């Protein structure tokens, strides 16, 4: 496995869906290649950073029309536009 190949299959590895023989090749490559170890670290850090964008949901407002639709549905009335 070359470094370039590793950068293209890394998500399969991190997602845990890579066939075992490919995992072995990838890990053998990492044993020998400091650059790719750094690359994998960077990708893990990237994922961690993206995860940090999660915000506690601000209370969503429920539109009146949606509540009205629920009441109409409950009464068995046909709903518009569907």
Partner 1 sequence: MITSDEQILAALKRGDEAAFIQLVELHQTLMLRIARRYVRSSAVAEEVVQETWLGVLNGLERFEGRASLKTWIFRILTNRAISRAEREGRTIPLSEFEPAVDPDRFRSEGDPYAGGWKAFPASWDALPEERLLARETLALVGEAIAKLPERQHLVILMRDIEGWSAGEVCEALEISEANQRVLLHRARSKVRRVLESYLEPELVLT
Taking the complex as a whole, the smallest distance from the CB of residue 32 to partner 1 amounts, in Å, to 11
Q: Which is nearer to partner 1, 20 or 76 (CB)?
A: 76
56 binds partner 1 (CB under 8 A): no
Q: Which of residues 6-45 bind partner 1 (CB under 8 A)?
A: 7-8, 10-12, 15, 17, 33-36, 38-39, 41-43, 45
Tokens, residue 66 = 């949606």
Is the Cβ–Cβ distance between 65 and 59 less than 8 Å?
Answer: no
User: Distance (Å, rounded) from C-alpha 55 to C-alpha 19?
Assistant: 35
74 binds partner 1 (CB under 8 A): yes
Nearest Cα to Cα of residue 41 among 17, 18, 7, 12:
7
């Amino acid at each position: 496995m070359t470094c370039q190949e590793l950068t293209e299959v890394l998500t399969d590895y991190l997602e845990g869906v890579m066939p075992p023989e490919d995992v072995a090749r990838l890990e053998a490559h990492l044993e020998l290649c400091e650059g790719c170890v750094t690359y994998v670290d960077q990708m893990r850090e990237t994922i961690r950073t993206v995860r940090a964008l999660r915000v506690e949901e601000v209370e969503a407002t429920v539109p009146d029309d949606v509540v009205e639709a629920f009441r109409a549905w409950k009464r068995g009335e046909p709903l518009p536009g569907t």
